Structure 1
Amino acid sequence: MMKKITKLAVLPLVLALGAGFSTLANAAQDCNAKRAAIEYQIQQAEKYGNYNRIAGLKKALSEVNAHCTNGSVLQDAQKKVAKLESKLADKQKDVQEVKADLREAQAKGDAKKVAKYQKKLQEKQADANEIKQELKQARAELASLQK
């Protein structure tokens, strides 16, 4: 029962933060959205008597109050873009390696390995496409913060 409550309690926070980053063009509003989401979580934790969660959330709120600024939100967005760019480069390297393995298996005529590498290649390419979408979103968020 408690896990279910925790999952339900986390959902509004995730939605609020996600909505804050994707729809607000002002970094100060993002800080306010973070505060509001955490305050909501504190209310929910108090409602259910989850005192350990309350303590953690109050610490998180104090961190946001102390450190969330226009500059920090912008810096976080820049870090997110850089991290995703690095992740995409790594995934693209993985794709190239699997392509090389696939070509080698095809040259040897090993049907079992060809099938294995084709499946692996599709998975790696799907991962890369997912990262590309995340990166596109992160770049849009960064651009909106830089206005």
Structure 2
Amino acid sequence: MKKRTLVTGLLVLLPVCSALAKPQLTGCAAKEHDIKQQIEQAHKHNNPHRADGLHKALREVREHCTDESLRRERLSDVHEKEHEVTQRLRDLDEAKQSGNPEKIEKRKKKLKEARQELAEAKAELSK
């Protein structure tokens, strides 16, 4: 019985310990970390041109990135995506007025894509 309790206790603590071991990075630190991982992948796949471009991107992030500027950039992207969704809604309304089923389906697909892009942009805000 004690062995089962000990194992259960350890399983409960495992996610807590792993969360403490690697803190969640945000802002420019997260961006820098992502670029470093991409550089590793480029080297791993023997892609020197991609690695060179990523090294340049890493230098740019280190020299110019601030958490505030990154937040403003991401917020701007969200506003842009919101505008796109609004436009796609208008396009869908026009297609419905025309009564053309192919056009309606096409506009629905475009709206779905725009909404997905908006959701992704909003998710970036918290990174």
TM over 0.5: yes
Q: Which amino acid aligns with 2:27?
A: D
CA distance in structure 1 between the aligned counterparts of 2:80 and 2:70, rounded to whole angstroms: 15
Residue 112 of structure 1 aligns with which residue? Answer: none
37, 41, 58: which one aligns with 1:61? 58
Residue 93 of structure 1 aligns with which residue? Answer: 90
Residue 80 of structure 1 aligns with which residue? Answer: 77
39, 43, 48: which one aligns with 1:46? 43
CA distance in structure 1 between the aligned counterparts of 2:109 and 2:91, rounded to whole angstroms: 12
Runs of 4+ residues over 4 Å off in structure 1: none
**Are 2:125 and 1:128 aligned?**
no
Change (3 A) 1:36 1:86: same
Q: Which amino acid aligns with 2:88?
A: K
TM-score norm. by structure 1 comes to 0.58
Q: Cα offset for 1:73?
A: 1.7
Residue 11 of structure 1 aligns with which residue? Answer: none
* Contact kept in structure 1, 2:27 and 2:71, CA below 8 Å: no
52, 63, 70: which one aligns with 2:67? 70
CA distance in structure 1 between the aligned counterparts of 2:47 and 2:39, rounded to whole angstroms: 9
CA distance in structure 2 between the aligned counterparts of 1:39 and 1:61, rounded to whole angstroms: 8
Name which of structure 1's ranges 79-88 and 29-38 shifts more when overlaid on structure 2.
29-38
Identify unmatched segments of 5+ residues in structure 1. 1-23, 103-116
Change (3 A) 1:123 1:52: same
Q: Cα offset for 1:140?
A: 5.7
Q: How many pairs does the alignment contain?
A: 104
Change (3 A) 1:132 1:43: closer
Task: Flag the structure with larger Rg.
Answer: 2
Identify unmatched segments of 5+ residues in structure 2. 1-23
TM-score norm. by structure 2 comes to 0.65
